[in-house]
Amino acid sequence: MLMFPVSAAGNQEVAASRISEAEWWMAQAYEAVLDAESADADVSGLLVRLNDAAELLSEARMAFDGGDFDEAAGFAESMSEVGYEIVDEAELLEIEAAKARVHSSWGFLAISVLGVSVVVVASVLGYSFFKRRYYRRLSKMKPRVE
Amino acid sequence: MKFQDYRTVFQVSSLALVLLAASPALSLIVSFPRSGESFSELWLLGPNHMAENFPFNVQAGEENSLFLGVGNQLGNSAYYLVYVKFRNQTQPLPNSNSSEPSSLPSIHEFQFLLEDGDVWETPVTFEILDALVHGDSMVVESVSVNDRVFQVDCSSTWDSENKGFYFQLFFELWVYNSERSTFEFHDRFVGIWLNMTG
């Protein structure tokens, strides 16, 4: 087995690049969760996982600042994996939420059409009934000449 | 009452009923703006989870604890970052007027996400690890926050008015701006003064 000496500067570069990648995944995951949330999806489960990912990213950044580049790269890689999974799940949740929204929109629309129809029909019938009754009562009140 | 008056009453009440019946469909089109202000809260509590008994007279090698909390009232989930910073009496604090963070490097950070209306709280333990007195100044070389050690090399001169070597541990709140794809200082910070005389 061949062993190559890895310089501290090389480790630092690798760790820095892993952290940049992890930050990118974190941003993607957060934006995917926001999109899912605005589509009315229940994102509480995803937020729990995103919090774990955020913690990993913090650990990576702090390990990097402390000069522990191997640890930093390890945390960053774990974070990127979690971030990738979250993006996938958030997109699925968003699609499901959008479907559910379309279904409920049709339901709301049907309820409204039915409700408005009932009100219009009842109003027309009620109005004509009231009008008839009003004029009948009015005609009874006319003075009669005997 | 004339017939025309009855008719007007009839028309108005029918229109109100039509609007009521159409409200489920209208709710799909009309969106109501969020009422109230959007803001975030940032707080510190003492070791007993109360706003009292904050660590003040501290010594090197002594562990101190606090609770740090953040509340999200922004109207949507938010991605927060809290930087922990350490300074002496002359080093810069965040500038509230220009909404600029302190230029000091952070010694620890917390990243987390919060749903609208939720709060996040975490225990924070800190310890001054190495502090040396040179004449009328004291140098704090390293500080540990939640078991992570950071070199700070921060010196403070003797404050003859308040009789002590004073340092401050403070916490800056940042929030992720998804439009700019970056964290921005959220114009909030809290801190505690530490007297290292003892």
Looking at residue B91, what is its pLDDT?
94
Calculate the CA dihedral of residues A34, A40, A42, A48 and round it to 10 degrees: 10
Q: In this predicted model, what pLDDT tens digit does every residue of B112-137 receive, in sequence order?
A: 999 999 999 999 999 999 889 988 89
Q: Do A130 and B10 touch (CB under 8 A)?
A: yes
Contact B10 A126 (CB under 8 A): yes
Q: What is the pLDDT of residue B16?
A: 92
Does A1 score more than 50 pLDDT?
no
Taking the CA of residue B71 and the nearest CA in chain A, the distance in Å comes to 15
**ipTM of this model?**
0.75
Look at B194 and A137; give whichever has higher pLDDT. B194
Residue B154 zone, left/alpha/beta (φ > 0; ψ -120 to 50; rest)? beta
* Best to test chain A binding among B74, B79, B82, B142 (most A CBs inside 10 Å): B79
Judged by a CB distance cut-off of 8 A, whether residue B150 touches chain A is yes
The Cα B109–Cα A58 span in angstroms is: 6
Inter-residue contact B85 to B109 (CB < 8 Å) = no
Looking at residue B18, its amino acid is: V
Residue A101: the pLDDT is 84
| A to B CB pairs, distance under 8 Å | 88
**Which of A31, A105, A123 faces B14 most closely, judged by CB atoms?**
A123
Question: Per-residue pLDDT for A3 more than 50?
Answer: no
> What is the pLDDT, as a whole number, of residue B34?
67
Please check whether residue B27 touches A, CB under 8 A: yes
Residue A140's pLDDT band, with cuts at 50, 70 and 90, is confident
**Residue reference for tokens 């996982």:** A49
Residue ranges of chain B with per-residue pLDDT less than 50: none
* pLDDT on residue A2: 41
Mean pLDDT of A51-69: 92
pTM for this predicted structure: 0.78
